[in-house]
Structure 1
Amino acid sequence: MHKLGIWVIAIMVCTLISCDPARVYEQNVDLPEGNWYVDNSQHFEFQIQDTTQRYDIYFNVRYALSYEFYNLYLQHQLVGPDSTQLSSALHELKLLDPKTGKPLGKGSSNLFDLQALAVKDVTFRKVGTYRLKLTQYMRRDPLANIMAVGIRVATKN
């Protein structure tokens, strides 16, 4: 019976992993004590094998309701396998509705998760490892109540 239980769990894990066929990469990083320092840029590395596909890149943010602002400015830098910078931009993510103060994203109680499309319709021209650097661009150092940040790379539907 013990082996059967292990198989059932393995099948459930495989099913959960395969539920999102568009996802190529997703990683989130917890920020120590919910403080994001300006000099604590987050770095993500992902592999691209299919250069014929088009991709979207999303930013993931977990924040506490005690976050002081309705928005979050982030800077990204995307570098290809040959160390060439492919893109760089400043993004404004709305975490709370500016008029009502209602938290955006999914969550309950005090923590909310927001996933926002940040870089759309990207074509990666070379197979290899791509690196994305994500930096908070607010006027607070540290920026409190940002619990985690991450990225998601997905194929376009």
Structure 2
Amino acid sequence: MTKNRISTILVLILFILSSCDKSRIYEQNFDFPDNKWEENKELTFEFEVPDHRQMYNVLYNVRYSVDYPFYNLYIKYNLLDSAGREINQKLQGMDLMDSKTGKPFGKGVSGVYDYRILALPGYIFPYSGKYKIKVRQYMRQNPLPQIYSFGLRLEKAGA
């Protein structure tokens, strides 16, 4: 089999597997150049909430290296409605590694780990429609090394 044919088959398999995820409403990830998250690099995630009566989970997707120099990550987020009004904002801390053992959380291969973190469990949006979540890293080091990507996932809670 040629390399192109193998690549095409792998892409099709990934597409089929990702389309089976019925709870996912939205998911987007941003890759960082040189695996460094600059302090002033604000990530904007725009999504639509189809039913404001439904509870949703908002999760963060973090891809990081086992060489990440800290065991945790602080981010600050702002949730905005379609008119740009702030609905919610918060500074959130999350552990990427066990603080005692240094063991990384998530699934990893060759020292790179993917970790999905529940940020807003069972969140009820005020109304159906478009929203934005803006996220910045809030650590003391700039740029923050060994962070490959950061993303956001919105899914139906309990699905």
Query: TM-score under structure 2 normalisation?
Result: 0.87
Q: CA RMSD in A?
A: 1.9
Cα offset, 1:14, TM superposition:
6.3
Cα offset, 1:10, TM superposition:
10
- Work out the CA distance in 2 between the residues paired with 1:10 and 1:65: 27
- Work out the CA distance in 1 between the residues paired with 2:77 and 2:88: 8
Quickly say closer, same or farther: Cα 1:102–1:12, change in 2 above 3 A.
Answer: closer
User: Is structure 2 residue 132 aligned with structure 1 residue 131?
Assistant: yes
- Work out the CA distance in 2 between the residues paired with 1:111 and 1:139: 22
- Work out the CA distance in 2 between the residues paired with 1:30 and 1:20: 22
Query: TM-score under structure 1 normalisation?
Result: 0.88
Would you identify which runs of 4 or more consecutive aligned residues in structure 1 move more than 6 Å?
8-11
Contact 1:81 1:126 in 2 (8 A): no
1:154 aligns with 155
* Aligned partner letter, 1:148: S
Quickly say closer, same or farther: Cα 1:122–1:9, change in 2 above 3 A.
Answer: same
* Count of residue pairs brought into register by the alignment: 150
Structure 1, unpaired ranges of 5+: 1-7
Provide Cα deviations, 1:40-67, integer angstroms capped at 9, x if missing partner: 0111100112122111100111001111
Structure 2, unpaired ranges of 5+: 1-8
1:3 aligns with none
2:40 aligns with 39
2:68 aligns with 67
Cα offset, 1:126, TM superposition:
2.3
User: Is structure 2 residue 103 aligned with structure 1 residue 94?
Assistant: no
- Work out the CA distance in 2 between the residues paired with 1:128 and 1:90: 25
Cα offset, 1:19, TM superposition:
1.9
1:113 aligns with 114
- Work out the CA distance in 1 between the residues paired with 2:12 and 2:66: 37
- Work out the CA distance in 1 between the residues paired with 2:28 and 2:21: 14
> Percent identity of the aligned residues?
38
